[in-house]
Amino acid sequence: MTKIKGAILVIDDDLDVLTTCRMVLKQVFSNIDIVSDPAFIPTILNDNSYDVIILDMNFKPGVTDGTEGLFWLKRILTLDSNASVLMNTAYGDIKLAVEAMKIGAVDFIVKPWDSEVFIATVKSAFNLSQSKKKIYQLENTQKILSKDSNREFSEIISKSKSMKPVFSSIEKVSKTDANVIIFGENGTGKELIAREIHRKSNRANKPFINVDLGSLTESLFESELFGHTKGAFTDAKEDKPGRFEIASEGTLFLDEIGNLPLNLQSKLLSVIQNRVITRVGSNREIKIDIRLICATNRDLYFMTENGEFRQDLLYRINTVEINLPPLRSRSDDIPLLADYFLNKFCLKYNKRGLKIVSDGYIALKEYLWPGNIRELQHLIERAVIMSEDKFLTENDFVLKKSSENYTTKSLNIDELEKQAIINALNKCNRNFSKASEELGFGRSTLYRKMKKYGI
């Protein structure tokens, strides 16, 4: 008979009862732990997770009023509010049973018990425990997802040749569980790509959980990612699962991973390697099953060379790399995206019928978009809000001048070199290795000159 993968803890001062429980339950469940002294309960529950706890009502010789059992029941539920506890006593006191159930026990067993009835009762408690855990996970998942409720994620809009390798990579990698890293400038839509991979994956009906590592302080990092127990720190008023735990069986998206300090990189690496997390304030290990997707606008290879990013972590997260081109390399997509945002904001602000005229499209296509798609979205929204006409022209778009958005007529050597670097970066979609080859010098030289010219 295949055993149920469940952990049962039996707490009783009678060694014969403990031995009998272990023998009977071992036939059905995979893991049975026994304890004769209830004083060890806090330590055991801090280090382990149990599906069912079978608790004796009396421990001291001659005591039969059940007060000890009720005391430890309350203590167990304080340590683990979702615990499924079965009360076990030789004295069938109905009032005591009712009191235990009111406190939070799931059932009551009277010794001596029949083995079949005993197993059936423990199985019932186990099933209830599994249901409670699913509800608990769903509730916490919903809390996380509700934070994204006002954020809209559309389909990827593109007909540009530069996006074809991106689409090809998405199709190839989606059905696997391979770790993916997405490189791209700010505002290029890295999260949209991550969500598309999840949508096409075998985990599509499970959670997609997003974590912006750039916005996490060091003090919040472990609590947010790994969770915490009640009382672990001043504001920890209840047990809280972390993002890894909530994303289990689904996809975890770690955005801005290049902003993670070195001391936190080692903690992240350990979890990714071992697929196990431990909540803050607990020693109990929790297994996780996630598909990991990371994103950054920084060059992690350069950071690795400079000792700013762990090489072993980089190799763990980049089984597949996707390089997302900037908007200036997707000129064919600019009118498509502009029309998409125009329709969206015309509906939002009740300004139906607005159109972009040809000189408006030309101006948008000629601009180099340092803020990428996010900048285009905000620019179109502003134009819709401020427009008093039915047509949007070049004058309706506030196109900022930037260091990347010019050509120079100067013959100054530094100015010419700066412009050459800018042109190479634009031509190569900010792929530093390719830009270095294009310019004819090494990547480290390119970084040094970019720093020199403030690029």
Per-residue pLDDT of 282-335, as tens digits, reads 888 899 999 999 999 998 998 999 999 999 999 999 999 999 999 988 999 999
**Residue 149 in this model has a pLDDT that exceeds 60:** no
My answer on whether 254 and 181 are in the same domain is yes
My answer on whether 50 and 98 are in the same domain is yes
CA nearest neighbour of 268 among 176, 179, 366, 139: 179
My answer on whether 236 and 181 are in the same domain is yes
Residue 42 counted as domain residue: yes
Q: What is the pLDDT of residue 252?
A: 96
Q: Where are the alpha helices (DSSP H) in 239-371?
A: 243-246, 262-274, 300-305, 311-317, 333-348, 358-366
My answer on whether 172 and 319 are in the same domain is yes
Strands (E), 27-132: 29-35, 52-56, 85-89, 107-110
Residue pLDDT, tens place only, 425-439: 877 777 888 888 888
CA nearest neighbour of 73 among 83, 62, 64: 83
CA nearest neighbour of 10 among 67, 85, 81: 85
Measure the CA–CA gap between 237 and 231, rounded to whole angstroms.
6
**Residue 153 in this model has a pLDDT that exceeds 70:** no
Q: Average of pLDDT values for 236-253?
A: 90
Q: What is the pLDDT of residue 214?
A: 85
For the chain, what is the domain count?
A: 4
Q: Average of pLDDT values for 211-239?
A: 86
**Residue 137 in this model has a pLDDT that exceeds 80:** no
Segment among 54-58, 109-113, 222-226 with least mean pLDDT? 109-113
My answer on whether 385 and 418 are in the same domain is no
Residue pLDDT, tens place only, 163-198: 999 999 999 999 999 999 999 989 999 999 999 999
Joined tokens for residue 451: 């720093």
Q: What is the pLDDT of residue 455?
A: 81
Q: What is the pLDDT of residue 411?
A: 60
Question: CA-CA distances (angstroms) from residue 298 to 51, 169, 212, 214, 258?
Answer: 44, 20, 14, 12, 6
Residue 223 counted as domain residue: yes
CA nearest neighbour of 282 among 235, 244, 226, 243: 226
Q: What is the average pLDDT value for the chain, to the nearest integer?
A: 87
- Identify the band that residue 29 occupies on the pLDDT scale cut at 50, 70 and 90: very high
Q: What is the pLDDT of residue 406?
A: 44
Measure the CA–CA gap between 138 and 132, rounded to whole angstroms.
10
Segment among 57-66, 228-237, 297-306, 386-395 with least mean pLDDT? 57-66
Task: Give residue 361's domain range.
Answer: 327-396
DSSP letter for 91, please: S
- Identify the band that residue 443 occupies on the pLDDT scale cut at 50, 70 and 90: confident
My answer on whether 379 and 418 are in the same domain is no
- Identify the band that residue 201 occupies on the pLDDT scale cut at 50, 70 and 90: very high
Measure the CA–CA gap between 91 and 433, rounded to whole angstroms.
78
My answer on whether 225 and 83 are in the same domain is no
Segment among 32-41, 78-87, 90-99 with least mean pLDDT? 90-99
Measure the CA–CA gap between 239 and 229, rounded to whole angstroms.
4
Q: What is the pLDDT of residue 208?
A: 93
My answer on whether 350 and 378 are in the same domain is yes
Choose one of 71, 106, 139: the last residue of a domain: 139
Q: What is the pLDDT of residue 405?
A: 46
Joined tokens for residue 81: 């509010």
My answer on whether 277 and 319 are in the same domain is yes
Q: What is the pLDDT of residue 266?
A: 94
My answer on whether 237 and 171 are in the same domain is yes
pTM over 0.85? The answer is no
Choose one of 371, 396, 421: the last residue of a domain: 396
**Residue 119 in this model has a pLDDT that exceeds 50:** yes
CATH number of 92's domain: 3.40.50.2300
Q: To the nearest whole percent, how much of the chain has pLDDT over 70?
A: 92
